């Protein structure tokens, strides 16, 4: 078995042949990693975000690697008119869109009392409004054209626990999770499927520089919080995402799949800190506990 078997491409060749997939925030980080793999599996792509130069560079790179058609479209997902234009441009080019991956996000760490209302707005607008803008525009189109499709939303594990110091992001991701589960039921009758992925720590420039700036990573070593003892590989996330946009997952609807090495659960279990107890101490502890008599 090759080293890092888990980071090998997983699906069989041609699994996404004939599909057209739109990835918001597809020019960088995890959006780019998913796009690369979708194209490798046979999909054509639309990648959309605010920075056209970044999109054009990524589109060229993926086209050269895969031989597929990658359309870069400048679009601020917080603006509904721009989202409608994105839909129009995608349909003009490809005649259809089979999947929408709501991956665009904004985030940074800050004590909440230091945030201006504009700072709070900007994060919620990108993450929640951007996701429902795209979902609404594409959803209406699919319903009108009676076209089956799927939506994959990228959330976080604090979408259900909440998290201090990233409160606008937590609020917005919780909303995206509610949107995923609500429409999975309401729009199933239109042949539209909705799922989400909650990634743990996957190193990307965008996230790392805003969430673990300076020497914070040295001080708190985030890997210590991950039971499997490592961060995620981009291919691992791409494998899961490719499955969820492929027809192999036709019976998966309304699900959020966590891929975090057990990180959020480690933070949740009341006695999980006993991981720190050295193995050699357990004989002594057991003896002490067995000696307890009565209540
Ligand atoms: C306090 C801040 C701030 C900071 C910006 N603001 N940074 N406030 N602390 N560190 C305030 C500004 O002062 C301004 O408010 C408001 O936020 C908008 O800032 P702008 O710079 O004008 O906005 P803009 O240029 O649109 O940039 C948006 C952004 C930026 C979100 C601030 O970081 C961005 O473009 N991010 C996109 C990529 C990204 O964030 N990727 C990470 C995703 S990671 P005022 O009141 O002064 O006008 C992720 C992972 C989660 O989601 C889970 C990890 C495990
Ligand atoms: P990233 O590279 O910073 O990706 C964010 C993308 O969103 C960028 O390409 C950015 O492009 C785009 N974007 C931001 N605002 C936008 C707007 N208004 N309109 C359109 N696009 C916009 O960070 P990442 O780590 O890959 O994050 C990708 C996704 O994974 C996000 O949903 C994030 O919450 C999630 N996630 C990441 C991690 C992790 O460990 N990396 C963990 C949990 C969840 P422009 O600047 O060109 O607009």
Whether 158 is catalytic is yes
Ligand having the closest approach to the CA of 222: 1
pLDDT at 217 (0 to 100): 83
The DSSP letter of residue 227 is T
> Which residue ranges of the chain lie beneath pLDDT 50?
none
Helix, strand, coil shares of the chain, percent, nearest 5, are 55, 15, 35
pLDDT at 140: 98
Closest CA to 162 of 181, 152, 153, 175: 175
pLDDT of residue 2: 72
Residue of minimum CA distance from atom 19 in ligand 2: 76
pLDDT in tens, 70-86: 999 999 999 999 999 99
As for ligand 2, residues whose beta carbon falls within 6 Å of it are 24-25, 27-31, 49-51, 54, 75-78, 103-106, 126, 130, 154, 156, 199, 201-202, 204, 206-207
CA distances in angstroms from 269 to 198, 245, 263, 264, listed in the order given: 19, 32, 11, 9
Q: Is 45 helix (H, G, I), strand (E, B) or coil?
A: strand
Do 139 and 80 touch, CB atoms closer than 8 A?
Answer: no
The SS3 assignment for 65 reads: helix
Q: What pTM was computed for the model?
A: 0.97
What is the third-level CATH fold of 11-294? Rossmann fold (3.40.50)
Rounded CA separation 255/193 (Å):
10
Ligand 1: residues whose CB is within 6 Å?
105-108, 110, 114-116, 118-119, 122-123, 156, 169, 201, 206-207, 210-211
The continuous run of DSSP H or E covering 74 comes out as strand 70-74
The pLDDT, as a whole number, for residue 218 is 84
């Amino acid at each position: 078995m090759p080293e890092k078997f888990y980071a090998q491409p997983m699906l069989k060749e041609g699994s996404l042949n004939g599909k057209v997939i739109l990835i918001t925030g597809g020019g960088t980080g995890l959006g780019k990693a998913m796009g690369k793999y979708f194209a490798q599996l046979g999909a054509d792509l639309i990648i959309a975000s605010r920075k056209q130069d970044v999109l054009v560079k990524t589109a060229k790179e993926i086209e050269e690697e895969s031989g597929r058609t990658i359309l870069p479209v400048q679009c601020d997902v917080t603006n509904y008119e721009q989202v409608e234009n994105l839909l129009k441009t995608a349909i003009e080019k490809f005649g259809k869109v089979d999947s929408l991956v709501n991956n665009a996000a904004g985030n940074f760490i800050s004590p909440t009392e230091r945030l201006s209302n504009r700072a709070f707005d900007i994060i919620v607008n990108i993450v929640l409004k951007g996701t429902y803008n795209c979902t609404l525009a594409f959803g209406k189109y699919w319903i009108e054209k009676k076209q089956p499709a799927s939506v994959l939303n990228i959330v976080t594990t604090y979408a259900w626990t909440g998290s201090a110091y990233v409160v606008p992001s937590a609020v917005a991701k919780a909303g995206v999770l509610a949107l995923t589960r609500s429409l999975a039921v309401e729009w199933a009758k239109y042949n539209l499927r909705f799922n989400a992925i909650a990634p743990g720590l996957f190193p990307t420039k965008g996230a790392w520089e805003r969430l673990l700036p300076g020497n914070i990573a040295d001080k708190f070593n985030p890997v210590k919080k991950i039971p499997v003892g490592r961060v995620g590989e981009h291919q691992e996330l791409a494998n899961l995402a490719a499955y969820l946009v492929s027809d192999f997952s036709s019976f998966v609807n309304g699900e959020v799949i966590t891929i975090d090495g057990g990180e959020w659960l480690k933070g949740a279990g009341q006695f999980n800190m006993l991981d720190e107890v050295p193995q050699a101490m357990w004989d002594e502890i057991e003896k002490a506990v067995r000696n307890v008599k009565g209540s």
